[in-house]
Structure 1
Amino acid sequence: MATLAPPVAAIRVAVRQALSGLPGDGPVLVACSGGADSLALAAATAFVAPRLGRTAGLVTVDHGLQAGSAERADAVADWAGRYGFTPVEAVRVEVTGPGGPEAAARQARYRALVEVARRHTAAALLTGHTRDDQAETVLLALARGAGPRGLAAMPVRRDLDGVPLLRPLLDVSREQTQAACAVLGLRPWADPHNTDPSYARARVRADVLPALVRALGPAVVDSLARTARQLAADTLVLDELAATALADIRDAGDGLSVTALTALAPAVRSRVLHAWARELGAPAAALSHRHVAALDALVTAWRGQGAVHLPGGLRVVRRDGRLVVEDR
């Protein structure tokens, strides 16, 4: 009996763990660009899902940012159909919006993936982010001066507008996905954006992370990913404490009590203020540390300052011992 290649086995085990116990009977949809990571994930899902009583589908997104992108998306969809996936969709999106092309493309991609998942009543969406991607995300968060939430990087599972998004390969290396493709005879597509130095992630991938590996050894990649896992666990607890605190404070009436906010630990209070600002309608993508710090100053460094202006045209003031939204 032929021995299963270790990279293929590792990826199948990771996918099985992610899919085991998944509720509902809808298909699982793999988001596949045709690169080594998502292609290895797709092949593993096609093997594992039927053995768990699941249908495996595939979605490929054409961002329209490169010549030949439509043909490439069609080629991925054609491969998926021949590989046994159903449903299979190639979706074209328009990349527009704030935050630069990377952020705009990501937002457009996830909107399209959610739309397809809802249409097929999918049990989950799967993406091929690897341990290397996680390490890169941690480094980018460090460079931005992000707090624990940013350093927690990508969660294994998150809710994406009501659709479960799973990342089964966060403990699998990019080297393993490339090796699995080679063993299975799959021919991945190399996205030129991944090596374009105009993108910050591409620079981290090509220069920063390899420099750390040379200086500190290959274990640094796993250490960075492990740091993300540990911070994610801590952040979850703090978020739960903040949700409870916000509910308690809200019981007192409209706005938030300054006295109650002052009694909270700083890490919990900042999360309460962030969550409250989002509830008021401040867009999450535009709400920054600077806004939350200004709200916190109304509580802890009150000197009669004026309103704090939040994204979305919101104005928060301190009045009669409470933080309230000022009428526009």
Structure 2
Amino acid sequence: MPETSAVLTLRHAVRDWLRRFGSSGPVAVGLSGGADSLALTAATLAEAEAVDALVVDHQLQEDSAEVAATAAATARALGCRSVRVLSVEVGHTGGMEAAARTARYSALAAARGDRPVLLGHTLDDQAETVLLGLGRGSGARSIQGMAPFDDPWGRPLLGVRRVVTRQFCADVGLSPYDDPHNSSPEFTRVRLRTEVLPVLEDVLGGTAALALARTAEQLRHDNAALDEFAGELLVRAESASHGLSCEVLAAAAPAVRSRAVRAWLLARGVRGVTGAHIRSIDELVVAWRGQGGVAVGGAERGTRLVVVREHGRLTLARADRVSRDRRETS
């Protein structure tokens, strides 16, 4: 492998990731055939004990099987210990981008065994993720971006620009596949990549992507600290009796209180907790005026749960029980 600037950049990034997260054994790599994942696979082969390639065929294009087969053949030629093509069925929930991502991660999780799965997300992908989070306006957690390691997902290239992975492929003689979906303006992320980020880079002198990625890293540290504080608050609020003490919650900072309530709901099987849910539940704590409960999704399809304030505590009850209680007291 030639020791060009791009090659050394990727090898050092992978080496640092393996050292930092203690992955001394075999690893899996999610390989699409694109420049990012192809460069990651080649660089990981130079640094890891053994590499197993997992190629996901989303079956969204007529030639998807051929693209997957080509990526698999390249992985074998590079020296991967094993290569598997994972064909998936992409659903419709949340749009094609989200559905494809769900299907891809599910397939990779099922095939990985006990190995971490390295993914080819770059600094540019991180910047796009932060911009998407800002657009949703759902708080610090949505703009903290992707973590370098979110077990079992590893992302060694979050500090590497996309242009470097392309140069890596050129330097070592690899021919990456250019997915037409990556240039289709019907996808929000593509428009951020091709329209919004270039303008920001121009206005900010070429530092926009770097600044967004740095912001994501800082927010991950901040969020980790807030989550720890929220865990401590949850222990105090739950210690007295059933439910959460509104008095204890009200004395905490709003950011810590909202995280504690979210964690409490998730631990009880509540699905799809939104910012609107948290804001309404917070009013039960700090702006109590006898209002009704807040309906949230149950752990099972069709089940509705309600967060209510009773005797100074937040409790979680089935919606049918709350309705029955209201009828009996009316």
TM-score range with shorter-chain normalisation? over 0.9
Q: Distance in 2 between matches of 1:199 and 1:125?
A: 26
TM-score when normalising by structure 1: 0.92
| 1:34 alignment partner, SS class | coil
Bigger relative CO (Cα 8 Å, ≥ 6 apart): 1
Superposition deviation, residue 61 in structure 1: 0.5
1:190 matched to 2:178? The reply is: yes
2:125 maps to 133
CA pair 241-97 structure 1, distance change in 2 beyond 3 A: farther
| 1:65 alignment partner, SS class | coil
2:326 maps to none
Superposition deviation, residue 3 in structure 1: 6.6
Q: Which moved more, 1:198-207 or 1:150-159?
A: 150-159
Superposition deviation, residue 86 in structure 1: 1.8
Superposition deviation, residue 87 in structure 1: 2.2
1:14 maps to 13
- Aligned ranges 1:169-180 → 2 under 5 Å: 169-180=157-168
Superposition deviation, residue 191 in structure 1: 1.0
1:272 matched to 2:276? The reply is: no
1:149 maps to 141
Q: Distance in 2 between matches of 1:109 and 1:115?
A: 10
Report Cα offsets for 1:209-237 as digits up to 9, x if no partner: 01111111111110111011111110111
Report Cα offsets for 1:280-325 as digits up to 9, x if no partner: 2122xx2211111111111011111111011222111000000001
Which of residues 194, 199, 202 is equivalent to 2:187?
A: 199
Q: Distance in 1 between matches of 2:126 and 2:20?
A: 25
| 1:59 alignment partner, SS class | strand
Report Cα offsets for 1:165-223 as digits up to 9, x if no partner: 11000000001001001001000111111111111000000100011111111111101
2:327 maps to none
1:181 maps to 169
Q: Distance in 2 between matches of 1:207 and 1:19?
A: 35
2:315 maps to 324
From the CA coordinates, give the structure whose radius of gyration is larger: 2
Superposition deviation, residue 88 in structure 1: 1.2
Report Cα offsets for 1:146-179 as digits up to 9, x if no partner: 31111111111112xxxx2110000000010010
1:5 maps to 4
1:70 maps to 65
Q: Distance in 1 between matches of 2:170 and 2:23?
A: 34
- Aligned ranges 1:66-105 → 2 under 5 Å: 66-105=61-100
Q: In structure 2, list runs of 5 or more residues that go unmatched.
A: 299-303, 321-330
1:115 maps to 110
Q: Distance in 1 between matches of 2:28 and 2:81?
A: 9
TM-score when normalising by structure 2: 0.92
The percentage of counterpart residues that share the same residue type is 46
Structure 1 stretches of at least 4 aligned residues deviating more than 4 Å after TM superposition: 21-26
Q: Distance in 2 between matches of 1:232 and 1:22?
A: 17
- Aligned ranges 1:25-36 → 2 under 5 Å: 26-36=25-35
| 1:30 alignment partner, SS class | strand
| Number of residue pairs aligned between Structure 1 and Structure 2 | 314
Q: In structure 1, list runs of 5 or more residues that go unmatched.
A: none
**2:2–2:171 CA contact under 8 A, matched in 1:** no
Which of residues 188, 206, 227 is equivalent to 1:218?
A: 206
Q: Which moved more, 1:295-304 or 1:248-257?
A: 248-257
- Aligned ranges 1:306-317 → 2 under 5 Å: 306-312=292-298, 313-317=304-308
Structure 2 counterpart of 1:287, which letter?
Answer: V
Which of residues 244, 250, 267 is equivalent to 1:256?
A: 244
Structure 2 counterpart of 1:150, which letter?
Answer: S
Superposition deviation, residue 25 in structure 1: 6.1
Q: Distance in 1 between matches of 2:179 and 2:25?
A: 31
